[in-house]
Chains A and B, each alone.
Chain A
Amino acid sequence: MVSDGEASFFKGMLLGSISCVLITLFGQINIPHEGKIQDHEHHHLRAPNREDFLKMSEVQRMELSKSIRVYCIILGESKYESYRAILKDTWTKHCDKAEFYSTKNSRLFNTETNDMWLQMRETYKYVFEKYGYDYNWFFLARPTTFAVIENLKYFLFKKNATQPFYLGHTIKSGDLEYVAMEGGIVLSMESMKRLNRVLNSENCEDQSILWKLSEDRQLAICLKYAGVLAENAEDSEGRHVFNTEPIVHLIKEAMSNNPQQVVKGCCSDMAITFNGLTPRKMEVMMYGVYRLRAFGHHFNDALVFLPPNGSEND
């Protein structure tokens, strides 16, 4: 015989579950609506087309490409210290400036902290103060990410850095759309400005209630408060240009999902990032992207980026 107390308990549980279901369903109905509107407000950002370039003279193109200045932040825990050398000698050479930030940087952090969101905030603050006006784009990446900065610059070619851009590989988590840190986060100068205005406010403090929110989600919340929304970067065929996984994984997925169109379905020709690479794989990428080529194929690229002076592995 169930006692009164237990009966009420179960009644309560039932009510709780039902109300939860109702609320969630109600919320779901709203999301596609919002989603649709937001889609029409440029949630997907596309790379420039060939036509965009044909109208410009070569001089104009040169000028514009020089005006895109990218500052690269490599943010990682101290266990990635060993990646520093490789990163310095590989893709980060192509940034206009690149610096490695980790908890071992005594200038920013007093003690080694495990709070990634705190690290990120302090890093962004520092970078903005020091470089906010010297560079117009700020690219944050993990030490395990390989980036092709030339493709990034191409992507940003006609985008105005005085607009609030927040780009990368976006993920939707409930109501929040955020840029995944693994794929790399791109902020325009305007976004940096706005971010730094609100970084000290309480809206940007740790928003975690029950479980810890990842720092990329926290960043999105903070930016949202400042009126900056995340946008997914895509090529002209709708494929991601920022990738959160290594090529091998993407291809494996494509092989099982899309065996007739493996390469076409999986990876963009002008991919900007891949993540999950070891230093060795970075060497291979460097070789594959900048050196290995098939004889007899000529790419008439709209933009020209020369390797940095004295650089020999690209």
Chain B
Amino acid sequence: MSEIQFREMASKSWLNFLSFLCGSAIGFFLCSQLFSILLGEQGDTQPNILHNDPHARHFDDNGHNHLEGQMNFNADASQHADENTDISEKLYQKVKILCWVMTGPQNLEKKAKHVKATWAQHCNKMLFMSSEENKDFPTVGLKTKEGRDQLYWKTIKAFQYVHDHYLEDADWFMKADDDTYVALDNLRWLLSKYNPEKPIYFGRRFKPYVKQGYMSGGAGYVLSKEALKRFVDAFKTDKCTHSSSIEDLALGRCMEIVNVEAGDSRDNTGKETFHPFVPEHHLIKGYLPKTFWYWNYNYYPAVEILHFLQIEDLWQPCVEQLYWCHFSTSMCSLRVLLSHFGSWLLF
């Protein structure tokens, strides 16, 4: 072989060797990246946490995504070992509340299902009122249409249904929306002081339009047995009109006509217990602008707590014992807070 050919061969093999090295480096790198992504994902996902064995580190095999069935919050099954609920249980027996939730076919899956899984469990009896019957959920079919203008009509029919089927099963009859959260224990505390044979109803009292005031629909309201009887009777005897597009106002007017008293639901420090909006709106000063209609509607003066001396100077009325709250989100979160979080703290 000549020298030139030899040199050519040498440089060629040198080039080949280089490209070989290059290839292996790139191959290795790409591969390691791939693995780090795969492993990284595995490392970051935490095993589903329902195991009792401290040494088990396997992943819980839950292939169920989006189970469209019954949802069970099971919040009370895992009751704190040290929790004493005697008083709560006694009140459950003593103050019987039937809850009916205003919902519709389009909201069963999104909203009503969660109401059913959470606070509604604490009612002595719970009913879901919809325009159409649903045997599986189950909902009562009111045979109306859906829509905001149908609300009052739905309300009348719902109370009528309750009156005709469950009058003797409860002392108090509460209406709530499917985006409302109710702390039943606290509601019982309020109602335990009143006689259900008395014509009275409670909620977040608004002052305009009706002399004795009326209760905000969004915050929910509860009627005594006598109030329910009078309300249903009012339509049989034409004392109250069926037609109105403003459910809460119309109900409030009717209550006044049939001499059902608008009760004071505030706690013993004068703070409101029924809330038409989510907690943030009520807890954070300035969240609702001063020009908002709400401020002119409240029957009672707002109680401010003068401690929060920061950029936002004053707190909104904070309620120690929350009865109702009109939520659009976080219903389940609040359920968690309410039944569990208090556990290890002195309150």
Contact = CB atoms under 8 A, between A and B. Distances in A.
Contact of B54 (A14, A44, A292, A293): A44
Interface stretch (A98-106, A134-142, A190-198, A255-263): A255-263
A151 interface: yes
Nearest to A292: B322
A35 B307 CA distance: 51
B54 A46 contact: yes
Given A261-B50, A295-B185, A17 B280 contact: no
Contacts of A36: 55
Given A85-B311, A259-B71, A297-B85, A290 B347 contact: yes
Interface stretch (A1-9, A107-115, A124-132, A158-166): A1-9
Contacts of B70: 259-260
A40 interface: yes
Interface stretch (A56-64, A68-76, A305-313): A305-313
A17 B27 contact: yes
Contacts of B345: 148, 150-151, 289-290, 299, 301, 305
A295 B189 contact: yes
A239 interface: yes
A146 B263 CA distance: 38
Among the interface residues B23, B83, B89, which one has the most CB atoms of the partner chain A within 10 A? B23
Contacts of A6: 19
A262 B67 contact: no
Contact of A8 (B16, B75, B83): B16
Given A247-B336, A258-B50, A296-B185, A12 B22 contact: yes
Given A8-B23, A255-B71, A264-B74, A280 B50 contact: no
B161 interface: no
B49 A293 contact: no
A244 to B, nearest CB: 9
Interface string B14-26: 0111011111111
A172 B52 CA distance: 20
A295 B188 contact: yes
A81 to B, nearest CB: 12
Interface string A223-261: 000000000001001111000000110010001111111
A5 B18 CA distance: 9
Interface in A80-95: 85-86, 88-89
A97 interface: no
Contacts of B23: 8-16
Given A8-B23, A12-B19, A295 B344 contact: no
Interface residues of A, number: 90
A39 interface: yes
Given A4-B16, A172-B43, A295-B188, A255 B27 contact: no
A85 B321 CA distance: 26
Given A8-B16, A20-B35, A251-B333, A299 B73 contact: no
Interface residues of B, number: 100
A292 B335 CA distance: 11
Contact of B74 (A39, A262, A267, A296): A262
Nearest to A272: B344
Contacts of A12: 19-27
Interface stretch (B58-66, B204-212, B239-247): B58-66
Contacts of A14: 23, 27
A264 B25 contact: no
B315 A313 contact: yes
A171 B334 contact: no
B198 interface: no
B285 to A, nearest CB: 10
Given A258-B50, A296-B189, A174 B43 contact: yes
27 contacts: A4-B15, A13-B24, A15-B27, A17-B27, A19-B24, A20-B27, A36-B55, A39-B55, A255-B71, A257-B62, A262-B71, A263-B336, A264-B74, A269-B340, A269-B343, A270-B344, A280-B280, A292-B320, A293-B338, A296-B86, A296-B90, A296-B91, A296-B188, A296-B189, A298-B84, A299-B342, A305-B345
Interface of B: 12, 15-17, 19-32, 35-36, 39-40, 43-44, 46, 48-55, 57, 62, 64-67, 69-75, 77-78, 80-91, 117, 183, 185-186, 188-189, 279-280, 283-284, 287, 305, 307-308, 310-311, 315, 318-322, 329-330, 332-347
